[in-house]
Structure formats: C-alpha cells, structure tokens
Structure 1
C-alpha cells in the first residue's frame, strides 16, 4: 500500500467527518466560529474575550463582533471581572451546546457503526498515537478540541496530553 494512498484516504476520511459533523449541526442558527465559540465557552466559562480570540485565531475586532452577536442572540453573557470582561453562556447557550454535542455524537457514532469492538479499540489506539505526536501550546490544544464533548475525554484527551508549553 502506497503512502500516497494512505494520506489520500486519511484526507478523505477527515473531510467526511467534517461534513457529517457540520450537517448534524445544520439545524442550529450558528455560523462556524459561533459554534466553536459556544463549545469553548461552555467548557471554559469565565474566560476573557482575548482568551477566546486566541483559541479561535480571530482579530480583536472579529472576537468583539462574535461576542456581540452571541450576546444579541441570547447565548452569551458578559460580566466584569477586574479589568477583564468574563464570558459565560446563558441557559439558552448551554442548551444549544447540549444540542450541538448530541448531534455531533450521533453523526460520529454512525461513522463508527460498521466497526466491531476490536476495530474500535485499534482505531482509538491509532488516533491517540497520532494526536499525541504533535506537541502543542495550550491555546492550540483548546483549538483542537473546539467542537469536542470535553467531558467524554476527561484526563484521557490525547490533544491535552500533547501540550508541551503554556
């Protein structure tokens, strides 16, 4: 089996996963960065706008516009914490994250359905090895998990385990 076939197959699989996850969340009135923002805030409430900006690789003005829109849509609340403005989700924002997470889980479970328990265990081992191989900064690791169900991995998250610097 050639390396080009393996890399091409991996790329096609990655796009299939992305397409399935995006289709699963299509019923929610969110554009991509908003979806990612609400998931990140749900798992890191009380963080600053600058924290969110770095995780989503946005400009300051882009992050402000995103937060303004989420607040206008009733999904985000802001509160002053010293000199910083802390971001948290409203109950409507938390409900949306729960719906997005559930839709994502169902979409990905459908892709895993053809695999038996042994195949799944082998896939977990391979994905864990691949995700741990790249050393990341904390912000990059959070970005890698920007659509994840953080509670599912807990301390086992291979992306978090790959963090080598702040």
Structure 2
C-alpha cells in the first residue's frame, strides 16, 4: 500500500475551500512511517550530505528520522523567537502579510551540503525562505525534499526556477 493512501485529507481546513493534507495518519502508521523514511534514505544513501535541515514543525519529524537513518546531523529551521542562541532570519510572504523563520548562526558551516526537508510543498514560500537562510550561511543545498507536492500551487516550480532540485514522494493534483 503506497504512502499516499495513508495521508488523510481534511476538507475545509484551516478555511473553506482548502483540502488539508494531514500526515499525522502516515506518522502513526508504523509501516507507512518506516516506508517513508526508508524510501527517502534509499534515495540519498549514495549522496554526500552533511546535514538535514527540517522546517518547523512536521519537517522536524521527517527530517530528524531521515538524518538519523543517513548518519548525519539535523538542523531545525524554526519560526521566529523559538531558538535560544544567535540566529539568522529570513522573512517571507504569506497570503496576508509576512512571517519569519530562523536558524542558529552556527548551525551550518561554509560548504556544508544540506538536504532541506519538509512534509509538504505548496506555494513554496517557506521552503524558499529556508533556502535563502542556508545560502546565507554558505551551505550548499543538495536537494529540497518533501513527502507531498501540491503541484497546482506552484511551489515546486518556484524552487526549480531558482535552480533547486526538488523531490517529493507523492503528489495531490487538482483535488
């Protein structure tokens, strides 16, 4: 059974017209979670990666498990004000206004090869901001990796137009 069938769709959340793709059902399924991490680990097993960077919050779950499996470090990219030491920050646009993500200044060393991970790519704003943070720290982005791609929202294309390679385990098109 593929992982897509283990992802719950919640209609009209967080607002009418949105079909929210909820990976908590995938995460609670031990087989589904194992398949997810093993498929990603297999993809990157022969790729030089120094650090997996995960975007808050579900990117922490997938990213940390993947980093463990690959035998590399993990770096959290968090919402503003959540990290205790000095940070780099990056603003990004939302539908109404802006938000900010942060990463510790010392999280990435110049030349580190980074795999960026999150659960889902939609419009790509958060992932784009994370890529900018990583580049500002002089890290090299190996790939942007997601469990789910929502191609109708253009995030994958947005990242690819900026020269990033993007991978997703599954996609939900048009529904």
Q: TM-score, structure 2 length as denominator?
A: 0.28
The structure richer in helix per residue is 1
The structure richer in strand per residue is 2
Q: Larger Rg: 1 or 2?
A: 1
Which one has more relative contact order, counting CA pairs under 8 Å at least 6 apart?
1
Q: TM-score, structure 1 length as denominator?
A: 0.29
